[in-house]
Structure formats: C-alpha cells, structure tokens
Amino acid sequence: MLTVSDVQALIVITLGDAFVLNRRVRQQLANYAANSIAYRRTPAVIGTGWLSHYPVAWGYAWQHRTIRHSFLWWDWTETVTDTAFYVNNGWGGGGSGEWIDASTWFAGEIYP
C-alpha cells in the first residue's frame, strides 16, 4: 500500500527533472506570476518547496547588483538580478507576509 510520502516521492521523481530542476521553465513560471502581479494587478498562486506548498504571491520586487571579481591580475564585473515575491503563506498568526526567492515550479492566476 502506498503512503502519502511514497506518492510525493513518486511525483518528485517523475516531475523533478521536467519542472523542478529546469531553470528555464522555472524562470518562465516566475515571469508569468510577476506579470500577473505587476501588469494585471491580480495575485498569483506559486509553488514553493518540494511540491509541498502553494502560497499566494501579491508583491514582486527586483534589483540589479554589480559584483566585482578579482583573481590574480584579472578583474571583472558581473551584473546579477535578484527577484523576490511577497507572499501570504496562509499559516495564520496575523503576519502580513514575507519576501521569498522568486524561483517557483508552479504559477497560477487568481481572477476576481
């Protein structure tokens, strides 16, 4: 007989390579949720963790940083973009929300 943890493990094994570990797909899903929040002004449901939680994202932020590297006599700079969602985890307790990394494996819109 399969338990809940067995089924979750099967889902991770079968979907893991296609969705969770594919950086391009994760970026497309994060962009979809960010566009829903920024341009359509509607919250998005996103998937976080290992197929285990679906918080409601209702804020999105990004920033560019320039990082300077140095190795022996070489110097170079790299521009990095940080992105984050402001989510309501739905755990109660009266908190207003928290910022989490914008990497996600699921994105869905909520229409009023």
Q: For residue range 54-82, list pLDDT tens digits in order.
A: 888 888 888 999 999 999 999 999 999 88
Question: What string of DSSP letters covers the chain?
Answer: ---HHHHHHHHHHHHIIIIIS-HHHHHHHHHHHHHHHHTS---EEE-BTTTTB-PEEEEEEEEEEEEEEEETTEEEEEEEEEEEEEEE----TT---EEEES--S-EEE---
Strand partners, 88: 56
Contact 3, 76 (CB under 8 A): no
Going from N- to C-terminal start, the domains of the chain cover 4-109
CA 93 vs CA 46, 55, 65, 90, 96: distances in Å: 21, 15, 34, 9, 9
Between 19-23, 57-61, 98-102, the lowest mean confidence (pLDDT) is in: 19-23
Tens digits of residue pLDDT in 26-56: 788 888 888 888 888 888 888 887 667 788 8
How would residue 108 be classed by pLDDT, with cut points 50, 70 and 90? confident
